[in-house]
Amino acid sequence: MFLEIQQLSVRYPGTPTPPPAVSDVSLALRQGEIGALIGPSGCGKTSLLRAIAGLERAAGGRIAIGDEVLGAAEPGRPAVHQPPEHRRIGMVFQDYALFPHLSVGENVAFGIARLPRREREARVAEMLDLVGLAAVAARYPHQLSGGQQQRIALARALAPAPRLLLLDEPFSNLDIDLRERLAQEVRGILKRSGTTALLVTHDQMEAFALADLIGVMHQGRLAQWDTAYQLYHRPATRFVADFIGHGVFTPARIVEQPGGPVVRTALGDLIDVEECPLPSAYPGGECDVLLRADDIVHDDDAPVKARIERKAFRGSEFLYTLRLASGEQVLAHVPSHHDHAVGDWVGIRPEVDHVVTFPRES
Ligand SMILES: Nc1ncnc2c1ncn2[C@@H]1O[C@H](COP(=O)(O)OP(=O)(O)OP(=O)(O)O)[C@@H](O)[C@H]1O
């Protein structure tokens, strides 16, 4: 592993009582991998990033790059805190923080002033090429769009060849359409330059577009560190299941059938599911099952009917909020050419590949 964080805790002075801002977080990135931290406001994402940068001290645990310990506070060992400027870590912030009185080229050259002039100019040209902005080297930041400014900020952060790049909400000042596109562009830039990076964002789509591995944080803890696919299809906790994507929990009972265990729900039996838990996994087989909006198929011939309570247009599909006669609520993605009115009853059936169950919550 390249970046390795073990049982890291961060505590702000003046807040001696639990919970700490970051609590017992462990994660790792290989060289060249991109990670993202997502989670609700106040869950500790920025505090974790700041601790890696050296802007906050570790209150417990350790941060290492390769064999080098950057920060540590472990029982029975001397505390370690390398100052931020010795860590060779680059940072990109939300507000770009470009110098307005310097040209684009001078901004990119800022962190490599000590290089001989020829080398510096070559590096600036290389970085501007990398972010696709060689043509604007002589312009000033105010003459660029928000997306261009953020790419310049990225070029400036990459110019000194940091061994790790940290990005804190880098796209949040940009409009929503541009964000996802820029996230994909930035992924391409980081991959081409082989940079290991960790991004903090509150936008899941941005994290999915940019990262190889994503961490969901909740109340200072890392609830899951995994690929986007696993977070969506194999959420480790109810919190992760709820936070990622659209879905509801509905009561279910796992029963043994001749062909194997089956999950019985108000929408019917979930059949042909992968890795179905055994009834013995829960008392009496009673559990809650996660039904994602894309697990529910609109089918006029289905015996189960549900009433449309709300609908939201999402371009190629609607997100319908539906209520069954038995009272359960479900969500369904339905192709947008099926335009039903709120109050209509429609047929639905479950089509679940990955069944995700949790202990019943009253
Ligand atoms: N300088 C500080 N002093 C004291 N407490 C702080 C400080 N900075 C953050 N905190 C607290 O630490 C916790 C985690 O904050 P942090 O900013 O890391 O969360 P976040 O997930 O980045 O939130 P957001 O998405 O809103 O930026 C919060 O309870 C916050 O109030």
Domains annotated for the chain, with CATH where assigned, are 3-88+162-238 (3.40.50.300), 246-359 (2.40.50.140)
pLDDT, tens digit, for every residue of 176-214?
Answer: 777 888 888 889 989 998 999 999 998 898 999 999 999
The atom of ligand 1 lying closest to the CA of 50 is: 18
How far apart are the CA of 169 and the centre of ligand 1, in A? 14
Measured N-to-C along each axis, helices 117-130 and 176-193 cross at an angle, to the nearest 10 degrees, of 130
Ligand 1, atom 11: closest residue by C-alpha:
21
pLDDT, tens digit, for every residue of 104-149?
Answer: 999 999 989 899 999 999 999 999 988 889 999 999 999 998 889 9
Structure tokens at 230: 């696993």
Which pLDDT band, with edges at 50, 70 and 90, does 18 fall under?
Answer: low
Q: What are the two backbone dihedrals, phi and then psi, of residue 293, each rounded to the nearest 5 degrees?
A: -60, -30
Q: Give the per-residue pLDDT at 14.
A: 77
Pocket test for ligand 1, best of 15, 22, 23, 43 (most atoms within 8 A of CB): 43
How far apart are the CA of 197 and the centre of ligand 1, in A? 21
**Position 70 pLDDT exceeds 90:** yes
Report the pocket of ligand 1 as residue ranges, CB < 6 Å.
12, 15, 21, 39, 41-47, 202
How far apart are the CA of 106 and the centre of ligand 1, in A? 33
Mean pLDDT (the chain, rounded): 92
pLDDT, tens digit, for every residue of 269-294?
Answer: 998 777 889 999 999 999 999 999 99
The atom of ligand 1 lying closest to the CA of 37 is: 21
Q: pTM of whole model > 0.95?
A: no
Q: Which of 245, 248, 225, 249 is nearest to 236 (CA)?
A: 225
**Position 332 pLDDT exceeds 80:** yes
Pocket test for ligand 1, best of 47, 55, 204 (most atoms within 8 A of CB): 47
Pocket test for ligand 1, best of 10, 46, 167 (most atoms within 8 A of CB): 46
For 137-153, letters b (16+ CB in 10 Å) and e give beebbeebeebbbbbbb
Is 249 strand, coil or helix?
A: strand
Contact of 245 with 292, CB cutoff 8 Å: yes
